[in-house]
Structure 1
Amino acid sequence: MIHTFSADSFQSHCDLLAKKDKHLRGIIKKHGYPPMWTRKQGFETLILTILEQQVSLASAFAAYKKLKSRIGVVTPAKILAMSNEELRECYFTRQKQLYAKELATAIVTKQLQLKKFPEMTDEDVRTQLTAIKGIGNWTTDVYLMHALQRTDLFPLGDIALVNSLKETKQLHPHVTKDEMLTIAEPWRPYRTIAAMILWHAYIKKRNIKIEA
């Protein structure tokens, strides 16, 4: 079964979670509803997500803007036509140069067909994406959440989400992933929306400005 959220359903999902969990309710009461963070489906979004791996959102977006200013619409053919030096000038590390080209090659050879993803289950999407070098569970989670708008992802590979959960629930600094998943279990099948509420708290607490 494929479950997605939309602008029409997002706030009602937030309200449902607020009824279930006093801490999520407190975040919404203090900061309002979180933005419905979504991205376009497709190759360009995956490239941006690769750039976001293990760096700040600001530095990733700077690299993305540099790439866009250089080649315009980001397509597999354009990435494959760039030299490693040209990618380095757009702030791609050596690893991310390889990841971007591996992804582009998978799409050009039709190993990966992104247009089919909306009809595929979360796990089938995960199997296909994580078969590509440089795309792991975090990148897959982000794509499922923001591009495919699936309702039940909880990416514990995301440091901001983990820290916000620890702060909100006043957890022990060394709480395990299994313990955090147990805490998130009652939020099924809307853990994506719970994650967005927690990100919202993290961003507001630190007064972080998010570029789009």
Structure 2
Amino acid sequence: MATLLETDAVLKRGLKALAEADPVMARLAAEGVTPQLRKRPPGFEGLAWIVLGQQVSTASATAIWGRLRAILEPATPEVFLRLSDESLRAAGLSAGKVRTLRALATEIIEGRLPLDGLGDIPADEAHGLLMRVKGIGPWTADVYLLFCLGHPDAFPSGDLAVQEAARLAYGLEQRPDAKALKALAESWRPWRGVAAKVLWAYYRVAKAREGAPA
């Protein structure tokens, strides 16, 4: 597997490989589309943050996380399981997110999910292990692998911004669904994660040109 996305040097190596493999990626690079590393802490804390951020605004997720961290010290699976449902709901977690995080904490403690070691195995295999946790969906799994572990081949094919960026960059008539985008991404292995970052960056550029919020 390629080296984890932990330095700008690795990111640049991935960008070079993509440009050599795909003329569209080469064009985006020539236009100055530059992605950022944006790595978050790995482990239970990082994945819990992603779960909390699902379907809420960044401001709301930040507020909920702040209240949770006030009672979750240290932020470990063991401490989380000791918290009552009442205290978690008071912090702002929905019943569904409480169930997901309890399932996640249990899987980690019982050794069925080697969370910190997922960056050392192929992205598809790591994705499958995360998806076995009830409540963890494809997007959450891929975002954790990419933004917390820096897995260079994790690819969130279901992300709407990535799909729309691909439509614009490749001149497609319709926005590709997750299956179509995953097929398109095959030529980007083992740097699909870098390609996703390029497409997110291009999406922001495209929306800025349109005068719309990114």
User: What is the CA distance between 1:32 and its match in structure 2?
Assistant: 4.6
Q: Which runs of 5+ in 1 are unaligned?
A: none
User: What is the CA distance between 1:118 and its match in structure 2?
Assistant: 4.0
User: What is the CA distance between 1:166 and its match in structure 2?
Assistant: 1.9
What is the TM-score with the length of structure 1 in the denominator?
0.82
Match in the other structure for 2:139: 138
Map 1:170-185 to 2 at 5 A. Answer: 170-173=171-174, 175-185=176-186
Are the aligned partners of 2:24 and 2:170 in contact in 1 as well (CA < 8 Å)?
yes
Map 1:12-27 to 2 at 5 A. Answer: 12-27=13-28
User: What is the CA distance between 1:22 and its match in structure 2?
Assistant: 4.4
- The one-letter code of the counterpart of 1:127 is G
CA RMSD of aligned residues (A): 2.6
Are the aligned partners of 1:153 and 1:192 in contact in 2 as well (CA < 8 Å)?
yes
Match in the other structure for 1:4: 3
Match in the other structure for 1:164: 165
Are the aligned partners of 1:24 and 1:198 in contact in 2 as well (CA < 8 Å)?
no
C-alpha spacing 1:51/1:9, structure 2 compared with 1 (3 Å): same
Residue deviations 1:155-178, cap 9 Å, x none?
Answer: 122122112222322323354434
User: What is the CA distance between 1:40 and its match in structure 2?
Assistant: 2.3
Distance 1:154 1:108 in 2: 27
User: What is the CA distance between 1:147 and its match in structure 2?
Assistant: 2.6
What is the TM-score with the length of structure 2 in the denominator?
0.81
The structure with higher relative contact order (CA 8 Å, sep 6+) is 1
User: What is the CA distance between 1:58 and its match in structure 2?
Assistant: 4.1
User: What is the CA distance between 1:72 and its match in structure 2?
Assistant: 4.1
- The one-letter code of the counterpart of 1:139 is T
Are the aligned partners of 2:80 and 2:105 in contact in 1 as well (CA < 8 Å)?
yes
Q: Give percent identity, aligned residues only.
A: 31
